[in-house]
Chain A
Amino acid sequence: MKPELTKTTRRSFLKTTGVIAGATTLGLPQIVSPRVFGANNRITLGHIGVGGMGGFHLREMVKRMGSGEVNIAAVCDADEKRLANAWKTAGAQAEVYRDYRYLIQRKDIDAVVIGTPDHWHAVQMVHAAECGKHVYVEKPACCTIEEGKAMIAAATANKVSVQVGSQGRSQPEAYAAHRYIASGMLGKVNKVTCWHYPSPSDDKPVADSAPPPELDWDLWLGPLAWRPYNARYCHGTFRWIMESGGGQIRDRGAHVMSNAMYFMNADHTGPATIEAKGTVPAKGLWDSAMEMEVTYQFKNPDWTLVWSQPGEKIPYFDETRKKKEGIRDGYGAVYHGDKDKLIVWVGDNQVYTEPKAVEFASKPGGVDVYKSPGHHDDWFNGIKTGKKTIMNIEAAVAVSNLTVLGNMSLILDRKLKWDHAKSEIIGDTEAHRMMSRPQRYPYVL
């Protein structure tokens, strides 16, 4: 039986989920001064990191360049092969750079898109903000707690609009799921369980070697401690190394748990405790967990978030649509309320939920939530109007901290206590010291 919508107002939903008074889901507050661009309102972009997701963003922005919405003035990468390819994609008007610091110091560039590996996100975002650039940075936002604090401080101090690439929030069916939950259709949601297939192990380890000639290994490593090049380290395989990629939890966790925090209206909160268990590869370079389970316990309001690799996979219910649209149902989350539950599949550029949420129609005066025009468009709106983006830096750091703390609990093999108000680990000297990891000069925050 469906609960009646009229029995759950927005106010009562916020009360039942314990959301702090004044928190908003519909209208995101203004954080930066609206900027005035040229008469054509065109935004001039620079792209830093143009392989992988960085390449995806570049291609997307090239499409927008045709309509005069943006101009791509520069592309940058530490890999010269990737850089040469990106130049072909971006067009002859673009300048190319190996070192992003040339790019961020150009006065004509309004905003940058950062698609580098995780260990570069914080440093490059902070540096770009300090040069007055608006920033779209790939997820996860940060690799350490201190990096996250620096990112928030830089965005605030320099009044720039930041969008972090957990684009699941901007998907149409994410809006449907969010609205359904916010309307109280599940009752009080007290648990969210995520599933995701395991990380791989490195079954073909190789010895360290000289880097390929096209790769500036020093620049690629950037803030990380020096280590010799290893062919199993990059490009995409950085994901399976703890110091750089952090495994599935930092990759897809930054999507699936981003949606969970958003739907639970928990963006400005954090867990009280974090406890992880898992297994890591017995050999090889990769050291991120293959299987793991992390339990995050939130207080006031009380609810539990569980990240599981593999967890309990729930296949998408519509085989025809799954095949037609290539739905990757290897990950997702279940929202458990005291009246009902809701399944949300995938979480990144694909988000799907159950028909009861998609077909749900709010009655006049019922609860509604913010509907993103699309993740890139939401960022452009943020730049032009000064309104907070849907995955603003504060929200993104809160999500990223979940992934950082989950991995930290795993490698320390103990439960951690977290003081969200102070953004610090309590009662554990070693873990507290690990909240920051000094970076290799000059690639510092």
Chain B
Amino acid sequence: MNAKELIEQIKNGDDKVRGAAWQAAGNAGSTAVRGLAELMFTGEQEVARAAKRALWKIVRYAGRPAGGDETKAVAKELVPLLASGDPNVRREFVWMLSEIGDSDAAPMIALLLNNPNLREDARAALQRIPGDTSLRSLKVALKNGAEDHKPAIAESLRVRGEKVKDFPNQKLVPRKQTAVKNPLAV
């Protein structure tokens, strides 16, 4: 199935047609990325969902051991999609790149460390993407990023094997109080 056919079938009103299309989307390749992304932003609930799942299929097929240039081509199409639009849609692109992205994707992902809605996803992706560029992005964020995000950045750096003296892990610090009143006291 080529990209054009895939997009048309994803837009189809019949669940069965859409479902079969996204499940067979893996080899549609990088040329289908932008069209599917557009449907994720603008499509009706189930069309957008089918487009998202088709795109995940493409990402995972491209990431196969024999993926070669296809992996890079799909990642390259995903990177510009990080720039703008509904953060709940862009979050998917960040996680897709966390699986197949490389140093070329890291700078654009790093920009999202300044976005309150996406900074945790960006941090996770940079933690996951190997190489110096992603590591350097995390180091820069620890120096210049939002103060309240620095403990999280520090944690990612530790996972990457870096020694970070400041910003101790807050994972065991309780934060949330219950409002439940003792029902037995009533």
Contact = CB atoms under 8 A, between A and B. Distances in A.
Interface string A114-148: 00000000010001001100000000000000000
Interface stretch (A175-183, A343-351, A352-360, A432-440): A432-440
B113 to A, nearest CB: 12
Nearest to B64: A414
B163 interface: no
Interface of B: 15-16, 18-20, 23, 26, 45-46, 49-50, 53, 56-57, 60-61, 63-65, 67, 71, 88, 91, 95, 98-100, 117, 120-121, 123-125, 127-128, 130, 151-152, 155-156, 159, 169-180, 182-185
A428 interface: yes
Contacts of A430: 60, 63-64, 67, 71, 99-100
A87 B71 CA distance: 52
A441 B157 CA distance: 13
A227 B88 contact: yes
Interface in A59-103: 80, 83-84, 87-88, 91-92, 96-99, 101-102
Interface centre among B20, B23, B127, B174 (most CB of A within 10 A): B174
Nearest to B21: A282
Contacts of B178: 80, 83, 96-99
16 contacts: A87-B184, A88-B184, A91-B184, A102-B174, A123-B171, A225-B121, A228-B88, A281-B19, A282-B15, A282-B16, A283-B49, A287-B53, A427-B65, A429-B63, A442-B151, A442-B171
Contacts of B91: 225-227
Given A282-B16, A283-B18, A430-B99, A442 B23 contact: no
B184 to A, nearest CB: 5
Interface centre among B121, B128, B155, B171 (most CB of A within 10 A): B171
A442 B159 contact: no
Interface string A410-445: 011110000000000001111001101111111110
A429 B176 CA distance: 39
Interface residues of A, number: 55
* Chain A interface, DSSP helix/strand/loop, else mixed: loop
A96 B180 contact: yes
Contact of A280 (B23, B45, B64, B130): B23
A227 B183 CA distance: 33
B88 A225 contact: no
Contacts of A225: 91, 95, 120-121, 124
B155 A411 contact: no
B172 A283 contact: no
B20 to A, nearest CB: 7
B170 A442 contact: yes
A205 interface: yes
A429 B88 contact: no
B61 A440 contact: no
A434 B172 contact: no
Nearest to B178: A98
Contacts of A279: 23
A436 to B, nearest CB: 7
A312 interface: no
Contacts of A123: 171
Given A84-B180, A433-B128, 13 more contacts: A80-B178, A92-B185, A98-B178, A99-B175, A282-B23, A283-B49, A287-B53, A411-B60, A413-B26, A433-B130, A440-B120, A441-B155, A441-B170
A143 to B, nearest CB: 14
Nearest to A430: B63
A53 interface: no
Contacts of B170: 441-442
A205 B45 contact: yes
Contacts of A442: 151-152, 169-171, 173
B146 to A, nearest CB: 13
B126 to A, nearest CB: 9
Contacts of A429: 63, 65
A438 B128 contact: yes
A411 B96 CA distance: 13
A282 B171 CA distance: 38
Contacts of A39: none
A101 B127 CA distance: 25
Contacts of B151: 441-442
Interface in A261-285: 279-285
B60 A413 contact: yes
B162 to A, nearest CB: 15
A99 B174 contact: yes
Interface centre among B16, B71, B180 (most CB of A within 10 A): B180
A282 B182 contact: no
A216 interface: yes
A1 interface: no
Contact of B176 (A84, A98, A205, A440): A98
Contacts of A227: 88, 91
B105 to A, nearest CB: 13
B176 A219 contact: yes
B172 A127 contact: yes
A187 B147 CA distance: 65
A288 to B, nearest CB: 13
Contacts of B124: 225, 437-440
